[in-house]
Amino acid sequence: MDGRDWKKFLFPYEQTVEELKIKFKTLRAELKNREEYSPIEFVTGRVKKISSILDKAKKLNVSMDDLETGIEDIAGIRIMCQFVEDIETLRELIHQRKDMKVLYEKDYIANKKESGYRSFHIIIEYPVQTSLGMKKVLGEIQLRTLAMNFWATIEHSLNYKYKESMLPEEVRTRLSRAAEAAYLLDQEMSNIRGEIVEAQKLFEDNSNLVTVILNCIQVLYFYHRVREAVQFQMRFNEIFEKDDTRAMRELQEEIQEAINRAKKGAR
């Protein structure tokens, strides 16, 4: 084993993971703010532990001098999606980006592993700016549904426990059944995707409406329209208890008109 400074070696990978996490979280927020459907549910990331890098290098027969090119997932992020269809949408968005280069893909959804593992892997080359200049880093982006991720997390834990030996036959059989159950769950969710997305959109719209109304009431306080603000707050409380969306929208329009009058009076 060489005597490299692992902290320095891993720093560009750590920076890559952090930057990629921020970029895809920002993409999710941007789509939400534009009131578009986001294929991203949430994003996680990690840099491989030194022991895992050494184990993989040994398994793949990669020399210590070739770690940067021989092991492609030292930097890795995982993006979870609600539906299988979202994975293809997100794949296309990644291919359109100019801040990273897609090298190749591994489709373990169409071609699941023998264990039942399903996921879509994209190997990228990412330019990261370090104190020593720009460095191109290899990284892996894994795209999964929530069901795929749940199963893969359990399998990873079991493989770690039995890494010195084969998984017991009974455990492998149960894992295989669980993988198929997760796959069927994804299929069923895809069948009612339209209903789910519509329900989520309605929930978000109502949540945003409540936020807008409460902020508008605070604006009235700012213009010293205390009496109106108190009255609107009381009406809001009553409507909120009844869960009347139509009345809530009408209230929002009335408050906005009151704000417009307050602004004119302040000129």
- Catalytic position from the list 140, 198, 204, 238: 140
- Does residue 180 have an active-site annotation? no
HEC profile for the chain? CCCCCHHHHHHHHHHHHHHHHHHHHHHHHHHHHCCCCCCCCEEEEEECCHHHHHHHHHHHCCCHHHHHHHCCCCEEEEEEECCHHHHHHHHHHHHHCCCCEEEEEEECCCCCCCCCCCCEEEEEEEEEEECCEEEEEEEEEEEEEHHHHHHHHHHHHHHHHCCCCCCCHHHHHHHHHHHHHHHHHHHHHHHCHHHHHHHHHHHHHHHHHHHHHHHHHHHHHHCCCHHHHHHHHHHHHHHHHHCCHHHHHHHHHHHHHHHHHHHHHHC
Q: Give the residue numbers marked as catalytic.
A: 140
